[in-house]
Amino acid sequence: MLLRSDQPTVSTDHRRRMESATGDFVSPYKLLFRALTLIPISHYLLIAFFVFIVFVYNLLEIHILQDIIGGFGGGHVSFTFNSSCDLYREVVSKCHLLHGRYLATPWLSSPHLQTILLNVLIKTPIFNYKRELFRTSDGGTVALDWLMNSGVSETSFEMNGTNSIADIPLVIVIPGLTSDSKSPYIRKIAYSMAKHGWNVVVSNHRGLGGVPLTSECFYTAGKSDDLGEVVNHLHRTQPETPIYAVGTSLGANILVKYLGEDGVNVPLVGAAAISNPWDLLIGDRFFTRAIMQRFYNRVLGNSLKGAAKLHQEAYARLSDWEGIEKSRTIRDFNNYSARIAGNFDSIDAFHRWASSARLVTNVSVPLLCLNAIDDPVCTDEAIPWDECRKNKNIVLATTQHGGHIAFFEGISGKSLWWIRVVEEYLSNLHASSMRKQQMQKFKDLSNETLQFEDSLSQDKKKLV
């Protein structure tokens, strides 16, 4: 069909109607602008405020709406473990907290608020540690800060008379990146464990906790041999005491790395790894991704620089101090310190080596791992799900919320859920038959070592 030229098209028809309404032709954009100017300024401010709220809600990954819709019931804990895992059957299945639900403190319903305010909100009673300086085989110094059960509890175990020190279990606490025994969250778990009947020793990283560097070696993200020496020293000095370990954040990485490296030779009854970064290479990539992660990267990079400044001469001798001073991220810092001191080809090679994920399958003691999926510092992308499922000594527990070593709970935000979880888990493990099995293993092990040393000395005698 042919279109007749005098037949009006839709657009000209439209324009004609507009002309008839106003008398003469007006641009629709001008009309729109005129309409927009009629809206009161206060409404614009309201809209801007709303957009800002949505932006902040997303930026901080706030989940209060989700919590309200869920009736503040909280989320359950997911478990990953091997079907023949005794630790789950005999211990973790009896942990009420892990089989309940975790609900974040409503006014902290954001992983970022939880993480940023962690050390600001925690209040702990005043107490003093007793310091022991431990000398490592290379001449380095590790500050061991002790808090005994008898130091915080009115009815001490020892006062019952019949109990010797060996009846009180000992837990070693390993702090995160640049934390030490004075960090509020470390003080909180130390006090809480001591109050619940444990002796506690915080194993500070070398150079941290106010001690000087006494050998040509500083602490790095993968330095697990110091922990190994500390554990062996404690086991040697009190062989009858059941010893456990709890690592937090980078301390969890160092703990799991040590457990994997020393395998069956680890004289611990059990361990817990909280908010482990697992894979430092994936973590490093994650730190460059979003605006909040870049913020954490700067903050942590600065705190590393601050800690290194205390030992500037040693760092300058062993690595590149000018590079360290210019560093703005964790990656830069490690590139100019740990990579050079450890003689790694690249910073990625260092991060790969320092990761605990590659040693998960070799862990031979009961190990509970706890990570929040929304952890804004240690990404869930790095969690080694399959390896945890392969190793029957491990139970991996994950929650949707909780942030990084925070897990604030209750209206007042005074309680950290993970600390209660660790206390319940270790108490259940201590009360289980697995403790006796582990203790027997050490006895057999030290007997083997003794016999080995015996045969060595006999060989020597023969030689003489």
Ligand X SMILES: *[C@@H]1O[C@H](CO)[C@@H](O)[C@H](O)[C@H]1NC(C)=O
Choices 11-19, 172-180, 387-395, 455-463; region in contact with ligand X by CB under 6 A = 387-395
Task: Tell me which of 78, 163, 433, 457 binds ligand X, using CB under 6 A.
Answer: 163
Which tokens belong to 331?
């990656």
Task: Tell me which of 102, 129, 134, 157 binds ligand X, using CB under 6 A.
Answer: 157
Q: How far is CA 238 from CA 170, 241, 305, in A?
A: 10, 6, 37
Please provide residue 271's backbone torsions phi and psi, each rounded to the nearest 5 degrees.
Answer: -155, 165
Strands (E) in 59-204, as ranges, are 75-76, 78-80, 101-102, 130-135, 141-147, 170-174, 199-203
What pairs with residue 395 in β-bridges?
368
Count of residues in contact with ligand X, rule CB under 6 A = 23
Of 174-213, which residues contact ligand X (CB under 6 A)? Answer: none
Alpha carbons 337 and 341: distance in angstroms, whole number:
6
Binding string, residues 254-293; x marks residues near ligand X by CB under 6 A: ------xx-xxx----------------------------
Contact at 8 Å (CB) between 384 and 278? yes
* DSSP secondary structure letters along 47-76: HHHHHHHHHHHHHTT--HHHHHHTTT--EE
Which tokens belong to 312?
């500037």
Alpha carbons 296 and 275: distance in angstroms, whole number:
15
390 binds ligand X (CB under 6 A): yes
In the complex with ligand X, which residue's Cβ is closer, 163 or 455? 163
In the complex with ligand X, which residue's Cβ is closer, 205 or 430? 430
In the complex with ligand X, which residue's Cβ is closer, 297 or 335? 335
Choices 2-10, 123-131, 155-163, 271-279; region in contact with ligand X by CB under 6 A = 155-163
Question: Shortest approach of ligand X to residue 263 CB, angstroms?
Answer: 2
Q: Locate tokens 């023969």: which residue?
A: 462
Contact at 8 Å (CB) between 246 and 345? no
Of 339-368, which residues contact ligand X (CB under 6 A)? Answer: 347, 359, 362
In the complex with ligand X, which residue's Cβ is closer, 188 or 430? 430
- Written as one letter, the residue type at 307 is A
Question: Shortest approach of ligand X to residue 205 CB, angstroms?
Answer: 21
Binding string, residues 28-67; x marks residues near ligand X by CB under 6 A: ----------------------------------------
Contact at 8 Å (CB) between 270 and 244? yes
Chain positions contacting ligand X, by CB under 6 A: 82, 84, 155, 157, 160, 163, 260-261, 263-265, 320, 323, 332, 335, 347, 359, 362, 389-390, 392, 443, 447
